[in-house]
Amino acid sequence: MVALPRLILCLATLAVSVTATSLGISPRVAHGSGRSVPRGWSLHRRADPDTVIPLKFTLTQSNLDKLDAYLLDIADPYSPNYGNHWSYAKVAETFRPSEESVAAVHSWLVNDLGIDSHKVQVNRKGDTVQLNVTVAEAEDMLGAEYYVYRSGEGGDERIGCHEGYSLPEKVSKHVDFVRPTTHLGRPRLTRRDGFVNGTPGAGQAHAGPRIKKTVEKSKLQAMGCDQAVTLDCLRDLYDFHYTPVSGKKNSVAVAEWEEEIFQQSDLNQFFAMYEPSLVGSEPIVISIENGTIAPPGDFGEATLDISLVMGLLGPKQNLTVYQVGQTSGLQQPIDELVAAFDSSFCDLDPVNQEGLTDCGNKPRANVVSISYHFEPDYIEPTITPIVQRECAEIGKLSLTGMTFVASSGDGGVGYSQAEACLVNGTLEFFVDEGSFVGQFPASCPYVTAVGATSVTPGNSVSDPETATTAFPSGGGFSNNFPRQKWQEAAVSNYIKNFAPAYGPDIYNRSGRAYPDVAANGFPTIIVEDGGTVITGGTSASAPIFAAFVAAVNDARLAHKKKPLGWINPALYSSHLAHAFNDITNGTNPGCGTDGFPAAPGWDPITGLGTVNFPKFLKALLDLP
Ligand SMILES: *[C@@H]1O[C@H](CO)[C@@H](O)[C@H](O)[C@H]1NC(C)=O
Ligand SMILES: *[C@@H]1O[C@H](CO)[C@@H](O)[C@H](O)[C@H]1NC(C)=O
Ligand SMILES: *[C@@H]1O[C@H](CO)[C@@H](O)[C@H](O)[C@H]1NC(C)=O
Ligand SMILES: *[C@@H]1O[C@H](CO)[C@@H](O)[C@H](O)[C@H]1NC(C)=O
Ligand SMILES: *[C@@H]1O[C@H](CO)[C@@H](O)[C@H](O)[C@H]1NC(C)=O
Ligand SMILES: *[C@@H]1O[C@H](CO)[C@@H](O)[C@H](O)[C@H]1NC(C)=O
């Protein structure tokens, strides 16, 4: 136990109440105040003042304010540096916290508070400062009150101070987070309890198609693409007839979390029906944080994602499956994925106390498709800093040439399949009122979000598709990420000419708008657990679009060009103006409204539209 000199700590506390100028002491800055107990946890009792806690200061990254500029330099098709992706080492070096930040925190602890410098540990890379203190000492240092919290189910206990904490101004600007404080992380889950009473818990991975019906195989033959979407329907809809040529040089992946798993027998049965050349082909499973495809589990999501990407690309392109497990600790699901690609995230992660074990040791695929959502996108003190950091990390990885694709959600203008809306500032599930709520990661501007379309009943693949009606396709405007200039013209055209006259509190007109594009999302045929089923969701749309991006990457590599990387500025540019089938029919209801109507040009249900693959390929192959 570290015995901190009480006198000096009392002085530090004094600084909170005495005006800064009178003592020449830096004023304090609040890191959250009056917050409620995070979802999934309940307040148990006040923490014992003698309990020793490991306090960890995560320092601010350098140059994060320049991330957009760095990315546009290599991803804006009008930039002379288009496609000049960064090395991973350059990314790590550029964003590493400065020595000045380390010195500011160290000096406050040692010189101002009088803590023995031997007890203050700076990690090897100089991006975190750690020390062991008692709860009483932490409360003095941080002007906070510590409590013990319990999770509803697992009986987990955590220590933290949900009401917030404060730091001297001169220290605060160098610190992103102190842990343990306001962020408790997610309760440890048992399999299948992620979705409690139909409402998503805190920071959990949610996927799984909303609809699933068994269909008799004998009836499939007679069904049109309005009733049963096969690989051939998709090829015809988007004129996608591409055979990869770059082999091992190219890579594409789907990410799957926790209990969402697949079995090879389902893939074989599906391929026997629709792509016999693939029977026996296995995806390459890369386990992250001990993720495993061993049953028990749920086959819906992974089977859908894998069947579509492998099926569309055929045997000349391998598919990687990132199978993400669950660490013992506090991580958000997407943290585990990005940390596996970027070791600096392990060091910088505010909650990495109990240990991410896969840190930068897994191969980075050129394209990663994510049919999950992790957080609602609204301003909330425990959510906002987390999603902003995760989105920045996706941006940093995009600098290396990766493309992140995500489903836009199956809840219309509400969050998740539970269609949650914001009622008087609180997220309420299954309600018919409130403001629209977006979802992360689709709302992150460095992610390409994909909405869902269907062939209208009675129509064929040569007719224009409509936004899905089987479920409302997710779309809207972020509260956490402002709109960037590459989509400004497309989105403001929609707001000005087509958006319903909702009040200013219903959706955020200045936010990043999504989805960016769309692809068929219902009724998709797969083989799941031995049976042929009709399923779908934006969960299907994302991997379909990811397969198209992978095919373009394959062609670019064959032409000695770089993979696409962050693709959004190019999608909205004049180069791709004719590369999409504009979807103009349908709506995405939610929160007691009809949501948004599809319209000519970009709209917040189907984005820029679905891909016309030959034009999409040509436009992107023409880029440097
Ligand atoms: C804090 O205490 C733990 C357990 O005794 C120890 O393993 C760890 O190294 C200590 N951390 C620091 C920064 O001194
Ligand atoms: C796919 O991966 C397997 C196993 O690593 C390898 O033998 C094969 O050549 C790869 N195929 C392609 C097209 O890259
Ligand atoms: C994960 O796997 C590693 C080795 O593969 C093992 O050492 C570790 O204990 C496992 N962790 C958990 C939480 O099962
Ligand atoms: C929201 O707050 C207002 C003002 O406090 C109140 O009149 C209204 O009933 C509340 N609405 C709901 C749905 O709770
Ligand atoms: C709307 O979005 C902007 C930009 O992202 C953000 O600063 C603002 O807080 C958001 N408004 C609300 C009500 O969430
Ligand atoms: C628009 O979509 C609705 C619902 O699927 C459908 O009934 C209608 O026929 C569609 N209209 C056109 C012009 O495709």
Question: What digits encode the pLDDT tens for the residues 487-527?
Answer: 999 999 999 999 999 999 999 999 999 999 999 999 999 99
Which ligand lies nearest the alpha carbon of 278?
2
φ/ψ (deg, to 5) at 39? -55, 140
- Which pLDDT band, with edges at 50, 70 and 90, does 207 fall under? low
pLDDT of residue 329: 58
pLDDT beyond 50 at 12: no
User: How buried is residue 295: exposed, middle or buried, by Cβ count under 10 Å (0-12/13-18/19+)?
Assistant: exposed
248: three-class secondary structure by DSSP: helix
Judged by average pLDDT, the poorest of 210-214, 223-227, 337-341, 351-355 is: 351-355
Count of C-beta atoms within a 10 Å radius of residue 153 = 14
pLDDT of residue 200: 45
pLDDT beyond 50 at 20: no
User: How buried is residue 62: exposed, middle or buried, by Cβ count under 10 Å (0-12/13-18/19+)?
Assistant: middle
List the residue whose alpha carbon is closest to atom 13 of ligand 1: 131
Amino acid identity for residue 408 in this structure: S
- Which pLDDT band, with edges at 50, 70 and 90, does 184 fall under? confident
Nearest atom within ligand 6 for CA of residue 585 = 1
pLDDT beyond 70 at 557: yes
Residue 167: HSE in the Cβ half-sphere, 13 Å Cα cutoff: 21
Nearest atom within ligand 1 for CA of residue 131 = 13
pLDDT beyond 80 at 563: yes
346: three-class secondary structure by DSSP: helix
pLDDT beyond 50 at 236: yes
Given 407, 416, 539, 541, which residue is catalytic? 539
pLDDT beyond 60 at 123: yes
Q: Which DSSP string do the residues of 35-51 spell out, in sequence order?
A: PPPPTTEEEEEEPPTT-
pLDDT of residue 21: 34
pLDDT of residue 39: 72
Judged by average pLDDT, the poorest of 71-75, 145-149, 329-333, 346-350 is: 346-350
How far is it, in rounded angstroms, from Cα 216 to Cα 236? 23
State the average pLDDT for the chain: 89
**Residue 305 annotated as catalytic:** yes
Judged by average pLDDT, the poorest of 20-29, 61-70, 289-298, 353-362 is: 20-29
400 compared with 38, residue with greater pLDDT: 400
**297, 525, 537: which is closest to 409 by C-alpha?**
537
- Which pLDDT band, with edges at 50, 70 and 90, does 349 fall under? low
457 compared with 1, residue with greater pLDDT: 457
Every domain of the chain and the residues it spans: 1-61+98-184, 206-621
φ/ψ (deg, to 5) at 8? -65, -35
How far is it, in rounded angstroms, from Cα 198 to Cα 376? 15
Nearest atom within ligand 1 for CA of residue 130 = 13
pLDDT of residue 34: 62
- Report the pLDDT averaged over residues 335-339: 91
Which ligand lies nearest the alpha carbon of 55?
1
pLDDT beyond 80 at 266: yes
The residues with which 206 forms a beta bridge, in sequence order, are 373
How far is it, in rounded angstroms, from Cα 25 to Cα 170? 9
Instruction: Supply 106's token pair.
Output: 């160290």
The structure tokens 């589990």 sit at 297
Question: What digits encode the pLDDT tens for the residues 163-179?
Answer: 999 999 999 999 988 88
**Cα three-residue angle 541-465-594, rounded to 5 degrees:** 85
CATH pick for 206-621 out of 2.40.160.10, 3.40.50.200, 3.30.499.10, 2.40.50.100: 3.40.50.200
pLDDT beyond 50 at 22: no
For residue 428, give the DSSP letter.
E
- Which pLDDT band, with edges at 50, 70 and 90, does 157 fall under? confident
149: three-class secondary structure by DSSP: strand
Given 259, 266, 305, 393, which residue is catalytic? 305
**318, 341, 250, 126: which is closest to 563 by C-alpha?**
250
Given 140, 258, 275, 301, which residue is catalytic? 301
- Report the pLDDT averaged over residues 72-81: 97
- Report the pLDDT averaged over residues 431-447: 96
- Threshold 0.85, pTM exceeds: yes
The residues with which 256 forms a beta bridge, in sequence order, are 323
- Which pLDDT band, with edges at 50, 70 and 90, does 33 fall under? low
Question: What digits encode the pLDDT tens for the residues 360-373?
Answer: 999 999 999 999 98
**Cα three-residue angle 187-480-366, rounded to 5 degrees:** 80
With a 6 A CB cut-off, is 470 part of the ligand 6 pocket? no
Pairing mode, strands 252-257 and 367-370: parallel
Q: Is 583 annotated as ligand-binding?
A: yes
Most confident of 216-230, 303-317, 422-436: 303-317
- Report the pLDDT averaged over residues 7-11: 28
The structure tokens 């750690």 sit at 130
